[in-house]
Structure 1
Amino acid sequence: MKALVLKRYGGSDQIEFANIPRPLIKPDEILVRVHAVGLNPIDYMIPKGTFKPMLKFKLPATLGSDLAGVVVDIGSRVTRFKVGDAVFASLFDLGNGSLAEFAAVPEHVAAHKPANLDFVQAASVPMVGLTSWQALNERAQVKPGQKVFIPAGSGGIGTFAIQLAKQFGAKVGTTTSTANVDLVRSLGADEVIDYKQHEFEHVLKDYDVVLGTVRGDGLEKAMQIVKPGSRVVSLIGPPDVSFARARGMNFLMKFVFGLLSRKIIRLAAKRDASYSFLFVRPDGGQLAKIGELLETSRVRPVIDKVVPFAQAKQGLAYLEQGRAKGKVVVQLVPA
């Protein structure tokens, strides 16, 4: 089968299409004919070696995490799916990727595709949906009436997290460029800061939750808008000791992550806030709950660009420019 493979760490020049064997499924896995793959920033960061110490990734390896497709075979212990089912899933951090014609998917990370979404729309959801769910529901435990700051509201995470926070009853603040103000308002954002005209930390205040999604000094600035008892959950780092401990890392990595996160933890403590780093995990049960929100149109996918499989590398390059409004999706099987 055809797959987009990372040969070795270094950059985009180490990514190429290759013919590799169709995966053999284990008893608890389903074999999926991949119809579409949602791209995420981590897909262009992995080839650079950025997450090498953290990921279960043996090279050469197929890239990609999110997928939507049709079950063509099931393992002997699979009970929730049958051949012909339309499914979506995230394979992130499982050691095998989704940018291929077929993928072996553990049953516990898959969910039935919402009936009202096509494969492209469904493939755009898993990582941003699960990340938003785990950050806002599990980690921050957002309550009705709380104020949640989600920067970069027009991006892949932002467009989904804004909608999910509204489903939890929160008031949402975000940042975006002038051209995307109407988009983020349509998703439910209450306080929208045009970063080309204002600094958000000079306008927003008394936030209960901050979702860290933007690299640079944005997270430090966000500490100026939180109130006592708030929770700051970062998706972009720095990793902390708790993360290293949960991953079973050695003493050296715990020490390094402790140093990396020391400043931001200190800034949070000054505001009587807590800081934590979140590394999303695949979870079919949570994806099914997200699917219910999608199926009832309480949350909708936002897609910027769809590219054919042959242009998957170009799709990654476009995403890396940081201008996408919502998600970039690779389509392997025409609709």
Structure 2
Amino acid sequence: MDEATHMKAIRIHQFGGLEELRYEDAPIPSPAADEILIKVAGTAFNAADVKIRKGYLQAFFPHEFPYIPNIEVSGTVEAAGAEVTDFQPGDRVYAALDMSRDGAAAEYVVTKTQYAALAPVSLELSDAAALPIGVLTAWQGLFVHGNLPQGGRVLIAGAAGGVGSYALQFAKQHGAYVIGTSSAASMPKLRELGIDEIIDYTKESVTDKLTDKVDLILNLSPESTEVLNTWLPLLKEGGALISAVNPADEALAAQLSVKVHQLFAQEDRALLTRVAELVDAGKLKLWITDRLPLTELAASHAMSEAGKLRGKVLITI
């Protein structure tokens, strides 16, 4: 195998279980004229990675085999296409990648430039991979689709996950009153990040504990559509339930004069640039709970399927 043309990567050759995540040699991709080639420093686990491996997202993001997973990356620009003017080799970058293309569970990945931004300078470069999807999902869920009013009330279901900890910080900076669901293990960290109220989802139901209505529910938990529907009456009139996982019922929402939206994060280089500035100013904290080598990527999937993930699991290359 020619080391100059090949790299180590995790590849999936068919949809299925953990055994489909194979560590093997793959060709190093070449950047097109409007793309950059990134030498990967870090990537991060996302719940969407499990759904992609099982084939659940094929209708939304079709994949060809063999497929390299992982949609978040940080690293150094190794090469830039002929039309690229905004990045150059040696730049430290981070990106939320196009979910329908090969990802960052590899030594190199290519991306179009609109998905990438300069990484925070105050972080270890690999750690920046814990940011992109989480901050885009959190910001777009709260403000683009959720229209959280200044000083409003928000329930973040799954506040201790890789998106929730960023959503909590963004909402607090917006002056919101933040209620979150979490297990006992994550409560100290959530309090440190400034949460106002916590519902222990292992012992308490949201419908029993939420006494005053909220402007927005941001759902990052695996609750079923049936459960989410029971949360719709907890919204103020005109409020919204934005779910990054299962959808809530649109017809029921319309009857209650609230709105629902199923959230997939969209690329936004300007927001990634702004987030890098927030991190460097000490205004946004990362919560990395585990660091695994690429060879142990399957362990992050297993932790997720067992419901044992808190914060962000980083994969170092």
TM-score of the alignment, normalized to the shorter chain, above 0.5? yes
Judge conservation of contact 1:66–1:127 (CA < 8 Å) in 2: yes
Shift of 1:15: 1.9
Judge conservation of contact 1:109–1:285 (CA < 8 Å) in 2: no
Bigger mean CA deviation after superposition, 29-38 or 49-58: 49-58
Question: 1:231-246 maps to which residues of 2 (within 5 A)?
Answer: 231-238=240-247
Shift of 1:182: 1.7
Runs of 4+ with >6 A deviation: none
Shift of 1:29: 0.9
Q: 1:10 to 1:197 in 2, by over 3 A?
A: closer
Matched, 1:309 2:298: no
Counterpart code for 2:50 = Y
Question: 1:193-208 maps to which residues of 2 (within 5 A)?
Answer: 193-204=199-210, 205-208=212-215
Question: 1:1-335 maps to which residues of 2 (within 5 A)?
Answer: 1-204=7-210, 205-215=212-222, 216=224, 217-238=226-247, 264-332=249-317
Bigger mean CA deviation after superposition, 135-144 or 36-45: 135-144
Distance 1:26 1:56 in 2: 21
Judge conservation of contact 1:150–1:162 (CA < 8 Å) in 2: yes
Deviations along 1:38-66, one digit per CA (max 9) or x if unpaired, are: 11011122111111111031111111110
Shift of 1:225: 1.6
Judge conservation of contact 2:98–2:111 (CA < 8 Å) in 1: no
Deviations along 1:86-136, one digit per CA (max 9) or x if unpaired, are: 110011424121101001121111011101111232111111111111111
Shift of 1:7: 0.3
Bigger mean CA deviation after superposition, 55-64 or 282-291: 282-291
Judge conservation of contact 1:2–1:19 (CA < 8 Å) in 2: yes
Secondary structure of the residue aligned to 1:229 is: strand
TM-score, with length taken from structure 2: 0.93
Structure 1 runs not aligned, ≥5 long: 239-260
Distance 2:14 2:69 in 1: 12
Q: 1:121 to 1:43 in 2, by over 3 A?
A: same
Distance 1:50 1:165 in 2: 31
Counterpart code for 1:172 = V
Q: 1:80 to 1:87 in 2, by over 3 A?
A: same
Judge conservation of contact 1:146–1:169 (CA < 8 Å) in 2: yes
Secondary structure of the residue aligned to 1:142 is: coil
Shift of 1:10: 2.0
Deviations along 1:142-167, one digit per CA (max 9) or x if unpaired, are: 22111111012111111111111112
Identity of aligned residues (%): 31
Bigger mean CA deviation after superposition, 284-293 or 298-307: 284-293
Shift of 1:295: 1.5
Count of residue pairs brought into register by the alignment: 308
Structure 2 runs not aligned, ≥5 long: 1-6
Distance 1:179 1:16 in 2: 32
Counterpart code for 1:310 = T
Distance 1:151 1:104 in 2: 34
Secondary structure of the residue aligned to 1:134 is: helix
Secondary structure of the residue aligned to 2:27 is: coil
Q: Give the CA RMSD over aligned residues.
A: 1.5
Distance 1:228 1:271 in 2: 7
TM-score, with length taken from structure 1: 0.88
